[in-house]
Every structure is written in C-alpha cells, then in structure tokens.
C-alpha cells in the first residue's frame, strides 16, 4: 500500500462538493472479542458506520453528503424518491432534507401486509422528519418506479425544481463515499497493527462498488464479500462494475473493473427482501447478547449470518482478523418485534 495513493485518493474525494451530515468521521473500527470467542473463530473487527450520527446513523449518511451537494448545485427545491416502507435510505434522506430545508416526497412500497397498517420503525421516523409519505397499494418495484416518475413529472409540470437521486449520471457519488470509507479502514488497520484480507458487508450496489474501488486503488489485500438483500439479480455484478468505473473516472483514478471483480452472495436472503430469516435473527440475537450491539433483520443480520456460517464452516483462517462493516439500520427492529422475540 502506497502513502502516495492514499494522499491522492483523499485529495480527489476532498475536491468533490459536499454537505456535512455525519457527526462521526472516521467511524470507529472496534474488536468484537466476545463474539469472536463465542464463534471460536478469527478475531472480528467491526467498522461502526451505524455511528455516522444522522437519524440513528448508517451508511447512507456518507452517501447523502455528496448526493445532496449535487441536488443543491442543481437548485433542487423538492426531492422525490422511494424504496421499501422500512427503508434506511429514506429514513436518512428524510433527516438530511429536514436539516437542509429541502422538501422530500417519498413513495414507499409495502413488503409485508403490516406495512400498510402500522407506522413504526423507519416509517415512523420519516414522518417525524417531515417527509411527505405515500405508501403505495402494490409492493411491485417496477410499479413503484413508474409512480415515482409520474410524481416527478407532475411536480415539474407545476414549475417545481425536482431532484431525483441515484440516477445513472450521479449514482457513483454514493459509491465514492465508500471509497473514502475504504481509505479509513486501511489507515485504521495500520493503526491497530492488523492485516485482514476479508471484509463482510450487507450490500447490493454502491456500498460494495465503492469499497472495492477504494481497496483496489490503494493496493489493499482486503477482499470484499457482499451479501445482497435481494435474490435473483445477477445484473448486480455488472452494475457494481459500471458504478465503480464511473466513480473512478469522476476522480481520475487509473483503475477499472469488470463484473467478476465483485463477490456478492444472495443465498442468505431467505423468502425475500425485508423478510427475516431464522439464521439472520439468530445472528441479531447472538451479537446483541455477546456484544450489546444491535443489527437489523433486513441487512446486517443476514450479512452477519453469512460471516458466522463461514466461521463455523472453517472457511476463514482462525488466526487472521476479519472485518465486518456495520451499515446501520437497527431502527427497523421496532417494526419487526415479532421476529426479534422469537428466541
């Protein structure tokens, strides 16, 4: 690893327009000694991006610092987007828009029957932050995209300056937030005198694209194993490569990527996105009871289940530290009380 490359990456990211949203940066890298002992495997270190600070924190806060700078530069007065009812992205977007004085309209898709009946967890927080929330009748993602596009056109026709985040020409801004996180990890590992070669994370696109971009540019040996919250989307490998290449071009970095550069596992999804699994909830309870640390049922719980499975199967060297990136999301636990309590 090259100090010159670290300085180059740091300078290139620092040159990007940014609005300050995170309360903590860099986020800590901490040992999970009790969990490591409980699993009988390698030393586990956790990168605490649940502590970024905005609205219970999470990985989206880093991303929104760049995306909302772009929105401001384009004169946005209203942002329109959407995801699932318990979306961590929409929770943090709602808090960020409240802080910046930008109107937010959210069109959310239900994942479970209770999603249209109960306002809890992230859904509660979005409304508390003042977002205009519409819960759609149908949970189909394609219909949701159509509804968002229609709302954007309606607002533009009324003369509003509308910004739709994560479009093709700007989605790499989210990834570059995690190229910066990769730089933090490299420096923190050096400070801790550890040399991990594996990082586990719940991710399906920008978070993993950015981490792989950062580690590759820095010549780090750390390989990223992502765990997708969605199943059956082989296009995600090509999309991560596209995003990473777009981000590298934006920063002027001499690296390029192909779909085969990304290791992303969808075998821990279970019945579907937003539906808890037995293994995922076991991981949530295990981490809570060994470390006093919260994970969530949709993302980090399933990714931790993957890490636990690899440790128990002997797939990781017991003498070599392994990293886990906590992307946040535990505010959704309150909407999954039934699954949490099924001990």
Question: Is 87 known to be catalytic?
Answer: yes
Q: What are the φ/ψ torsions at residue 58 (nearest 5 degrees)?
A: 130, 170
Residue 124, both tokens = 């509660």
CA of 25: how far to CAs of 52, 138, 174, 181, 264, in Å?
7, 38, 16, 9, 26
End-to-end CA distance of the chain: 45
Exposure of 77 by Cβ count < 10 A (0-12 exposed, 13-18 middle, 19+ buried)?
middle
CA of 289: how far to CAs of 282, 295, 343, in Å?
10, 11, 12
Reduced to 3 states (helix: H, G, I; strand: E, B; else coil), residue 256 is coil
Q: How far apart are CA 228 and CA 241, in angstroms?
A: 15
Sign of the CA dihedral with 208 first, then 165, 274, and 301 last: positive
Cα torsion for 213, 62, 107, 118, to the nearest 10°?
Answer: 120
Q: How far apart are CA 325 and CA 280, in angstroms?
A: 16
Instruction: Determine which one of 23, 36, 87, 331 is catalytic.
Output: 87
Q: Which spans in 134-171 are helix H?
A: 141-157
CA 94, distance to chain mean position in Å, is 16
**Residue 276, CB half-sphere, CA atoms under 13 Å: how many?**
22
**Largest pairwise CA distance in the chain:** 62
Reduced to 3 states (helix: H, G, I; strand: E, B; else coil), residue 111 is coil
Sign of the CA dihedral with 205 first, then 332, 57, and 32 last: negative
Residues involved in catalysis:
87
């Amino acid at each position: 690893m090259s100090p010159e490359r670290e300085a180059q990456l740091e300078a290139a990211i620092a040159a990007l327009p940014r609005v300050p949203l995170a309360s903590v940066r860099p986020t800590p890298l901490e040992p999970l000694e009790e969990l490591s002992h409980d699993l009988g495997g390698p030393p586990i270190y956790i990168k605490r991006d649940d502590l970024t600070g905005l609205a219970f924190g999470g990985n989206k806060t880093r991303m929104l610092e760049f995306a909302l700078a772009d929105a401001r530069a384009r004169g946005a007065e209203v942002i329109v987007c959407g995801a699932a009812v318990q979306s961590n992205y929409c929770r943090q977007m709602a808090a960020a828009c409240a802080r910046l004085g930008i109107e937010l309209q959210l069109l959310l898709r239900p994942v479970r029957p209770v999603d249209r009946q109960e306002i809890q967890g992230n859904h509660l927080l979005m409304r508390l932050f003042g977002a205009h929330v519409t819960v759609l009748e149908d949970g189909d993602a394609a219909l949701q995209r159509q509804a968002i596009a229609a709302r954007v056109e309606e607002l533009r026709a009324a003369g509003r300056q509308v910004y739709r985040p994560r479009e093709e020409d700007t989605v790499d801004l989210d990834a570059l937030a995690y190229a910066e996180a990769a730089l933090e990890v490299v420096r923190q590992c050096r400070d801790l005198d550890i040399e991990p070669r594996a990082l586990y994370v719940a991710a399906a696109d920008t978070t993993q694209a950015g981490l792989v971009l950062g580690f590759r540019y820095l010549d780090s040996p750390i390989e990223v194993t992502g765990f997708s919250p969605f199943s059956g989307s082989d296009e995600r490998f090509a999309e991560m490569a596209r995003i990473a290449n777009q981000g590298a071009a934006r920063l002027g970095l001499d690296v390029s990527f192909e779909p085969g550069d990304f290791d992303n596992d969808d075998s821990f999804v279970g019945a579907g996105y937003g539906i808890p699994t037995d293994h995922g909830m076991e991981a949530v309870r295990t981490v809570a009871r060994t470390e006093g640390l919260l994970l969530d049922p949709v993302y980090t719980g399933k990714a931790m289940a993957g890490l636990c499975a690899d440790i128990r199967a002997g797939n990781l060297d017991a003498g070599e530290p392994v990293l886990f990136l906590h992307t946040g999301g535990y505010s959704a636990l309150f909407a999954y009380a039934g699954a949490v309590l099924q001990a």
